[in-house]
Amino acid sequence: MSHLKIFGMSKSRTFRVLWMAEELGLEYEHIPVDIGDQGTGSAEFLSINPNGRIPAIQDGELTLFESMAINLYLARQYPGRMMPDNPEDEARVIQWSFWVVNELEPGLLTLLRHRATYPEDQRDPQLADATEKELARPLAVLDQALVGKTYLVGEHFSAADLNVASVMAWAKASKVDFSAFPHVAAWMEQCLGRPASRAARR
């Protein structure tokens, strides 16, 4: 096995990648690069990710940025049933990974900022409420996809569940009302409660 290095703080999107590495039982080196001139803005880190963002990884000769691309690579590269072995289900995993960063992540980031991370006096509760209303459409899509199912793709937990649930963790932190999306609520609790998810947050 090549030597895997994961760059970024676990409280950032790096959580997604740490969670994947834990699910796969990989040995890895965690380099907790933080946001700022000393971390993501340093010349050393910019040579790894010229975007100056976390997460990034190095795995042997491969250097990679973008959390979803990293997780799809790790799931494909290492055994552990995180990537289905048939092309149709693999495509479904990729579909959900693109879906979550396009349909949910921007709105959830706005919600997270205006309900949890911005200082109180910089929060806009009306913007947060309006954003939550807009999120009802993609959340209904996710809820429908989970009717009668334990996992998004196939019969077991996969990179689709991990990638979507890791973004949905922001919804939980933003106190989104899940009463209209009971399947999402149950699925999310189950995913985020996995030992590997807890280990990634340490």
Footprint of ligand GSH (CB under 6 A) = 12-13, 35, 40, 52-55, 66-67
CB of 77 to ligand GSH, least distance (A): 18
Nearer to ligand GSH, 35 or 173 (CB): 35
Nearer to ligand GSH, 136 or 192 (CB): 192
Nearer to ligand GSH, 53 or 92 (CB): 53
- C-alpha torsion 173→8→56→42, nearest 10: 130
CB of 56 to ligand GSH, least distance (A): 8
CB of 4 to ligand GSH, least distance (A): 16
CB of 14 to ligand GSH, least distance (A): 7
Give the residue ranges of DSSP H helices in the chain.
Answer: 14-23, 43-46, 67-77, 87-99, 105-112, 125-145, 159-173, 182-192, 195-200
